[in-house]
Amino acid sequence: MATVAFEPAAVEAPSTAAGPSTRFFSEGDGHAVLLLHGLASSPLELRYLSRYLQGEGFTVCVPVIEGYSAGSLELPMERWVENAVREFDALAARYERVSVCGLSIGGALALRLIRARPNAQALVLLSLTLSYDGWAIPWYRFLLDWAYYTPLRSRYRYREAEPFGLRNEALRAKIARAMQRNAFSEVGPSTISLLALHEASRLSRAARREVSAIENDTLVIHAIDDETSSPRNPRYVIDHIGASFLRTVWLDDSYHMITSDNEREIVARETAVFLRESEVARGAGREGGQPVVSKALARRLRQLAAVGQR
């Protein structure tokens, strides 16, 4: 199944060259996965994960969110949530199940979305960012909240710096070159406006307040050495979320951009397995009542059975 562009009104369009404003859609089975990229970035951040889920049979949509994604006019965070909910509703009108996956600040956006749409199948939080508190965040980061209320509001842009969320040195060097030449790379923009950072902080605070009310099946994947958002971010969700089916995966060979870094295969595999297990746990199935079992889930079930026998 080839990945194609997908327009907001659920109209498929011909495939185009991938760029910051290109959304991805791939038709699969009745379980659709809505993937939300990071702040002021693009679907390119989720390209590997989306293709993996496509290969596992899921319907996959990685949209461009007006007011949030790169290349669109910046809007208040309430509009980000409204536009993300609109994307969810378009999928829910066509598919039996819809899960939501968010990367970085996209995780905070996913939390707000799923609070508005509790009928979602499952929630996946990758490198969840509720606070920029990683080891590479500059000491003056807290001053940016104050700077928003000064004339700097419309002029200052935060510049991304090494390691660019990447532990993989070869990929990091490639991204560094891209950041020097362009305003954008496959792991995000070279700079982020003060307005976007301010709205992201508002979004994260709102998401934090609502975590305990979320009961959807939840998967959390986070790198222990995340330089942007420390493990305190996912820990807050793990300790407070109301989900009865909760899984946590800690990575030890990646930084923030876990969908592109050394363990991207683990991220993709664990996401696919969890979503299929969520289907089984919720009693979802294909025609005839047979559960949907991917190759990855079949392998996991065999491994669990072998451990049980030992």
Residue 131 CA to chain centroid, in angstroms? 16
- pLDDT of 82 > 60? The answer is yes
CATH 3.40.50.150 assigned to domain 5-137+197-309? The reply is no
Q: Residue 261 in contact with residue 171, Cβ under 8 Å? A: yes
Render pLDDT for 134-158 as a digit per residue (tens, 0 to 9).
998 876 666 667 666 677 766 666 6
Residues 298 and 77: their CA atoms lie apart, in Å, by 40
Would you kindly state where each structural domain of the chain is located, as residue ranges? 5-137+197-309
Q: Could you give the residue ranges of the DSSP H alpha helices within the chain?
A: 47-55, 77-92, 105-116, 143-147, 169-181, 194-210, 232-240, 264-281, 295-309
Burial-class residue 111 by CB neighbours within 10 Å (0-12, 13-18, 19+): buried
CB 8 within 8 A of CB 90: yes
Tens digit of each residue's pLDDT (9 = 90 or more) over 201-243:
999 999 999 999 999 999 999 999 999 999 999 999 999 999 9
CA within 13 Å, CB half, 242: 13
